[in-house]
Amino acid sequence: MSSSTPHTTPSPLTRASIEAAHELIKPYIHRTPVITNTTLTNLASTPQTIEALKGTPWEGQEPAKPKICLFFKCENFQRIGAFKVRGAFHAVLRLVEEKGIEEVKKKGVVTHSSGNHAQALALAARTLHIPAHIVMPSISTPSKIAGTRSHAPTIHFSGSTSQEREAVVASVIADTGATLIPPYDHPNIILGQGTLGLEVQAEVAELIAGQDGELDALMVPCGGGGLLSGTSIALHDSHTLVFGAEPSFQGADDATRGVAAGQRIETVKSLTIADGLRTPLGKHTWPIISNAEYVAGMYSVTEQNIKDAMKLVLERMKVFVEPSAVVGLAVCLYNEEFRRRVEREAGEEGWDVGVVFSGGNTTVEAITKIFADVDGGKAERAEGVVGKDGGRVAENVAG
């Protein structure tokens, strides 16, 4: 049996299945908050300067003038610090329903992951008293290895490529009979991640009661695409348009490029600081994300855009996030293609835009390293002050 094919029966990819998934995993996850911030909403609704667009694809063009009101879904406050517990718990609980707890306990579960899914599956397995085997690349972030180890799984180290990871997974399956719980590319993972969309919909309706009660758009970070495809299914028949956000560094924007070309890109080799988004789309996530009826558009941002957005979140919102979590915010602030779309389609009314903060699994040391090369000019850009290298910062408005 291929290490990439889990032997579990998938549920249909529908909103009804996501609603059932939510009921199943509710006892095991946090309902994370949706929060707002005046400073960042003001920034998103302020045109970028002509200077800031120099060196970008929009150099020399008139800056967009969108009106954007931001709502942040804070999965950095989720158990293990990321949304991944949703899919992990759902997949394991469905496996238990199908095979019985004693059978699952006898053979255990296995996955390969460099970080958040590793911790999520380890937690789910520990909670249900199931043996877990976690294959992690030896170059994984030490803090994520430590976080995974804290849930007492058996950790197997591997090389960093998908082929090397899957070879170790295949060996574990051959030795133990463990069931593979994939990081993202399986319907039960997708449905679990999609529960976030249900929560966003309900929470925003409470916040903007008296209006139409729905977001105009939801911006979701995209790596392997489990979260993006799941939320797009959850919100498919709603008023909310779902968009995907990626880093562009070293070709990490595989979904953006693949959708544009009409063909899935199967490999990604990028060292973007958004390390949770280095994975290509899978066979299950690609058909959903490439379908404009589900995902209305894909947008990418630079490493500097990500740094600037992360600095704003840390300093202005006082919220601790990892780089992958702010890629959607960076699109709202700096991607002129998206900003022009808002201006064109929303006009004077503007859009209420949800942004998913997918996780907060980083460290002070890692953040210090990310910003170690930020000199005075770059720091000003992240703050929004216009400088010769571009950028802008909002007024000091209370969030």
d(CA 207, CA 205): 6
Give residue 378's pLDDT: 45
Neighbours of 264 (CB within 10 A): 18
Give residue 140's pLDDT: 81
Give residue 208's pLDDT: 83
Give mean pLDDT, residues 179-187: 92
- What pairing do the DSSP bridges indicate for beta strands 179-180 and 154-158? unpaired
Give residue 8's pLDDT: 63
Q: Is the pLDDT of residue 326 over 70?
A: yes
Give residue 194's pLDDT: 98
Which token pair is 55? 């060196």
- pLDDT band of residue 98 (cuts 50, 70, 90) is very high
> pLDDT tens digits for 122-153?
999 999 999 999 999 888 878 888 889 999 89
Give mean pLDDT, residues 384-388: 33
Give residue 209's pLDDT: 67
Task: Kindly list the domain boundaries of the chain, sorted by start residue.
Answer: 34-81+187-383, 83-180
CATH number given to 34-81+187-383: 3.40.50.1100
Q: Which of 198, 196, 188, 218 is nearest to 284 (CA)?
A: 188
Neighbours of 29 (CB within 10 A): 22
Give me the torsion for CA of 394, 301, 33, 215, rounded to 10°.
90
Give residue 373's pLDDT: 65
The highest-confidence range among 144-158, 259-273, 328-342, by mean pLDDT, is: 328-342
Stated as kind and residue range, the H or E segment containing 180 is: strand 179-180
Q: Is the pLDDT of residue 57 over 70?
A: yes
Give residue 242's pLDDT: 98
CA distances to 99, 197, 227, 229, 341 from 235, rounded to whole Å, are 31, 6, 12, 10, 20
Q: Does domain 83-180 have CATH number 3.40.33.10?
A: no
Q: Is the pLDDT of residue 297 over 70?
A: yes
> pLDDT tens digits for 157-169?
998 777 788 899 9
Enter the pTM of the model.
Answer: 0.89
- pLDDT band of residue 312 (cuts 50, 70, 90) is very high
Sheet with 132-137, side-by-side order of all strands: 154-158, 132-137, 109-112, 179-180
Task: Give the gyration radius of the chain's Cα atoms.
Answer: 20
Q: Is 172 helix (H, G, I), strand (E, B) or coil?
A: helix
d(CA 353, CA 94): 33
d(CA 32, CA 79): 9
Give residue 105's pLDDT: 95
d(CA 10, CA 188): 6
Average pLDDT taken over every residue of the chain = 89
Q: Is the pLDDT of residue 383 over 80?
A: no
Which token pair is 314? 């840390």
d(CA 194, CA 229): 7
Produce one character per residue of 382-392: b if its CB has 16 or more CB atoms within 10 Å, e if not.
bbbebbeebbb
Domains 34-81+187-383 and 83-180 share a fold: yes
Give residue 391's pLDDT: 37
Known catalytic residues are 84, 114
